[in-house]
Chains A and B, each alone.
Chain A
Amino acid sequence: MSLSFILQQIINGFSLGSMYALIAIGYTLVYGVLRLINFAHGDIMMVGAFMAFIFFKIMGLNFYVAVTLSIIVTAIVGILTYVSAYKPLLDKNAPKISLLITAIGISFFLESLFNVIANQYLGGTYQAFYFPKWFSAILHIKSLTIPVLTLIIPIMTLILLLVVLYILYKTKIGIAIRALAFDINTVKLMGADSNKIIAFVFALGSALAAIGGISYAMAYPSIDPYMGMLVGLKAFAAAVVGGIGSVTGAVIGGFILGFAEVAIPGFFPELGGWKDAFAFIFLIFVLLFKPTGIMGIDFERQRF
């Protein structure tokens, strides 16, 4: 086992992990505020990738314009899911499980809608994803082969993490989000517009998911309407491993899971088939020994 092989695995693991991290931040933000596992979040990521594909390949816009537009559209889709589906239920104090079924309903809706769109207008469910050539350039450093993409994605993730942390801890809306996560009723009593704050949380989470989805689509250059399902669940597992409700935890959890998913089959090829299950096996072990996750806060005792 050469050193370069180990380094290679670490780099690939960080790259995959940062995509999980970007999606996990969205889960953790929504869970922190609403205590809702937003099952549709993985599909929001898929919407981001598909919108980028449609803007860039079908409409022929400049790649960076297409990406920016797709992030904006995905954020709007995120807000729409909140306003049209979750908010009416929250207003009526519906049981938590109804919210969860609604989340699953939105997930099905987005998947099947994009399935129909892809079949009717894009010529098939599976589509190759296109992006500017220089992203796919490969650096050769001694015996290491490093695709530029696997360097860009983790760096971008860390920058975005800093941005999210800045928003959460240094801005007015960030204070409002944290207050909402702490005690939603008191925040309402204090006269804050909780709907606007939650809508912002959904927009922020969806925008990050879109970036994660586009990175994912570039790394495995293909997209399909069901791509968000498994990635979304793994990202949720990452959020729980890191400690749900903690943004830094989500990023740490994402990196750990991404690393495990790349490195374990790399070092033990016979475990290759179990790749998709590592996220959940890890999750179960972490919950057994530290039920609140690595960076977690104890949400069990806090009620709305």
Chain B
Amino acid sequence: MNNLSLGKYFTLIVIVTAVFIGFLYISPKIFSDYTTTVLGNVYIFIILAVSYNLINGVAGQFSLEPNGFVAIGAYVTALLMLSPDVKADMYMIADPLPLIKDIYLPNPFFTLLISGIVSSLIALTLAFPVFRVRGDYLAIVTLGFGFIIRIFLINNPSISNGSMGLDSIPGFASYFWIGIVCLITVILVYNIVYSKHGRAMKAVRDDEDAALAMGVNTFKTKTQAFMTSAFFEGVGGGLLASSIGSISPDQFTFMLTFQLLIIIVLGGLGSMGGSIIGTFLLIGGMEVLRPLDDANWSIAGIHGIPGLRMVVFSLILLLIMLFARRGIMGNKEIWDYIKIRRNK
């Protein structure tokens, strides 16, 4: 942990929580609906980015499959929240499997928990083949798994309703509750990062062979990081499904993984504060650039062209990588700058 006393640490957590809950309470009143929607989206992406950062930045295992875990979380949530009657009407291509049809647990808390657990268990089974390889090979294998999960969803219409996806998912994930889950996630992941397990993860990242020699069970450590990351990605997926209201396999492509990867690298790999800032910059930046797609918009004689936003966005990304190549925060944290130093 840090060298704050336990009492001061709890005080800090309580203050942060109170301020954030106050902000969550007041922001719908002072901001427009559009802004709060974007902010809710930002909170979901903070959950995803912080947990992705755990496996990728903290444990140093270059995994490229969060899109798969987010998809699993989203589908589990949707299947649990939809009532058997609704499902019977919705499945067009094939009838739902009896188990899928009857399963019904409309309690948001348990639903999100189960989404996380299912996603985490799948991570456990994937860990055995995935962690046999390292580095770039790991990247391409995990990328393959993310892809296979999506193909599975498309090709099993009796489970997932195929490429048509699921809709009318109950919108329990209101702006306020997304914010609360985001806060809990950040606090939990923070505590993992600065625990014994977190230090083991960093040891594996910095030198796997040395960590092994020092008695760290590297496979176990990597699997723990992978499962924790998958758990929160599953929860984030559940929130995403509920806040959008409809899901289809096309939402969970590499694009989602790459967005998260951009966020954590932009913020600084391994820095939690960086992941949070990176999320605001990416999601916010995408919104700021939105007029570029609008053909009616113009400035200094330059008109918006549909699709131009992505061109400008990727150019900005390339420039950031050129000039701030270790990300905005490097591997430092916010408190490294405000003199609340941790023990080395």
Do A and B come from the same complex? yes
Which residues of A line the B interface, CB within 8 A?
31, 35, 37, 85, 88-89, 92, 94-95, 97-98, 100-102, 104-106, 108-109, 111-113, 115-116, 119-120, 229, 233, 236-237, 240, 273-274, 276-277, 279-281, 283-284, 287-288, 291, 300
A280 and B145 in contact (CB under 8 A), knowing A97-B62, A291-B132?
yes
CA A277 to CA B305, docked complex, whole Å: 35
CA A279 to CA B148, docked complex, whole Å: 10
Determine whether the beta carbon of A109 is less than 8 Å from that of B318.
Answer: yes
B111-130 to A contact mask, C-beta < 8 Å, 1/0: 00000000000000000010
Determine whether the beta carbon of A112 is less than 8 Å from that of B311.
Answer: yes
CB distance from B13 to the nearest CB of A (A): 31
CA A274 to CA B152, docked complex, whole Å: 8
A225's nearest neighbour on chain B, judged by CB, is B307
CB distance from B222 to the nearest CB of A (A): 16
Taking CB atoms and an 8 Å cut-off, the chain B residues in 305-329 that contact chain A are 305-308, 310-311, 313-315, 317-318, 321-322, 325-326
Could you tell me the dominant secondary structure of chain A's interface residues?
helix
CB distance from B316 to the nearest CB of A (A): 9
Taking CB atoms and an 8 Å cut-off, the chain B residues in 137-172 that contact chain A are 137, 139-141, 143-145, 147-148, 151, 154-155
A97 and B314 in contact (CB under 8 A), knowing A102-B321, A119-B305?
no
Residues from chain B with a CB closer than 8 A to the CB of A109 are 311, 314-315, 318
B283-323 to A contact mask, C-beta < 8 Å, 1/0: 00000000000000000000001111011011101100110
CA A54 to CA B250, docked complex, whole Å: 30
Which residues of B line the A interface, CB within 8 A?
62, 129, 132-137, 139-141, 143-145, 147-148, 151, 154-155, 254, 258, 261-262, 265, 269, 305-308, 310-311, 313-315, 317-318, 321-322, 325-326
A283 and B151 in contact (CB under 8 A), knowing A35-B136, A109-B318?
no
Determine whether the beta carbon of A281 is less than 8 Å from that of B140.
Answer: no
Determine whether the beta carbon of B136 is less than 8 Å from that of A112.
Answer: no
CA A266 to CA B254, docked complex, whole Å: 28
CB distance from A32 to the nearest CB of B (A): 12
CA A222 to CA B242, docked complex, whole Å: 37
The 8 closest A-B pairs by CB, nearest first: A280-B144, A112-B310, A273-B155, A108-B314, A109-B314, A277-B151, A94-B325, A105-B317
A276's nearest neighbour on chain B, judged by CB, is B151
Determine whether the beta carbon of A283 is less than 8 Å from that of B310.
Answer: no
Residues from chain B with a CB closer than 8 A to the CB of A274 are 151, 155
Residues from chain A with a CB closer than 8 A to the CB of B254 are 229, 233
Determine whether the beta carbon of B139 is less than 8 Å from that of A106.
Answer: no
Residues from chain A with a CB closer than 8 A to the CB of B151 are 273-274, 276-277
Residues from chain A with a CB closer than 8 A to the CB of B134 are 300
A273's nearest neighbour on chain B, judged by CB, is B155
CB distance from A25 to the nearest CB of B (A): 17
Determine whether the beta carbon of A119 is less than 8 Å from that of B306.
Answer: yes
Residues from chain B with a CB closer than 8 A to the CB of A280 are 143-145, 147-148
CB distance from A263 to the nearest CB of B (A): 18
CA A233 to CA B254, docked complex, whole Å: 11
Determine whether the beta carbon of A105 is less than 8 Å from that of B318.
Answer: yes
Residues from chain A with a CB closer than 8 A to the CB of B311 are 109, 112-113, 116
Residues from chain A with a CB closer than 8 A to the CB of B310 are 108, 111-112, 115
A287 and B133 in contact (CB under 8 A), knowing A95-B326, A116-B311, A281-B144?
yes
Picked from A101, A108, A283, A288, the residue with its CB within 8 Å of the CB of B265 is A101
A284 and B315 in contact (CB under 8 A), knowing A119-B306, A119-B307?
no
Known A-B contacts: A116-B307, A281-B144. Give 15 more (CB < 8 A): A85-B322, A95-B269, A95-B326, A98-B326, A102-B322, A105-B314, A106-B318, A112-B307, A116-B305, A233-B254, A237-B140, A240-B140, A273-B154, A273-B155, A277-B151
CA A113 to CA B318, docked complex, whole Å: 14
B56's nearest neighbour on chain A, judged by CB, is A97
Determine whether the beta carbon of A283 is less than 8 Å from that of B140.
Answer: yes
A277 and B148 in contact (CB under 8 A), knowing A37-B139, A104-B258?
yes
Residues from chain A with a CB closer than 8 A to the CB of B132 are 287-288, 291
Determine whether the beta carbon of B262 is less than 8 Å from that of A101.
Answer: yes
Residues from chain B with a CB closer than 8 A to the CB of A35 are 136
A37's nearest neighbour on chain B, judged by CB, is B136
Picked from A94, A233, A287, A291, the residue with its CB within 8 Å of the CB of B143 is A233
